[in-house]
Amino acid sequence: MNLESPKVTIPKSAEDTFTFLSDVKNFEKLMPENISKFEVLDNDKFLFALKGMPEIVLKKKESTPPNQIVLGAAGGKLDFSLTANITAINHNTSDVKLHFDGEFNAMMAMMIKGPINKFIETLASNMKTAV
């Protein structure tokens, strides 16, 4: 299953946006209002839970400064990645688009597609003011 967020324009340079997203603590600022738990587990790993959903652990898998950060599921039953692609517009502005990629059976995909789509749209939207 592949999902994309809308592209959002951030009033920061690509380097500043990359630095913000590289620090996993900052993801708490991007989470939707219905978050029930957020915990930094390591320098590159955090756990979060949305109301009514299981806890998910995300780990920074790779990064390509200042253009891309890839987070992936760390354990659990779901295997997926969340990639932030950062494009410099000029010295003070950058665009960010989130890509979600996961392997799920058809029934699971039907159940989680809507909530995950809304989740990545919220993360992207919150970047406009949080970064």
Reported as a pLDDT band with limits 50, 70 and 90, residue 80 is: very high
State mean pLDDT over 19-28: 97
Q: Is the pLDDT of residue 1 over 90?
A: yes
Q: Is the pLDDT of residue 76 over 80?
A: no
Rg (CA), the chain: 14
Q: Is the pLDDT of residue 77 over 80?
A: no
Q: What is the pLDDT of residue 50?
A: 87
What's the pTM value of the predicted model, to 2 decimals?
Answer: 0.94
* Strand 2-4, strand 35-42: pairing: unpaired
First to last CA, the chain: 28
Instruction: Give the mean pLDDT of the chain.
Output: 95
For 70-126, what is the HEC assignment? Answer: EEEECCCCCCEEEEEEEEEEECCEEEEEEEEEECCCHHHHHHHHHHHHHHHHHHHHH
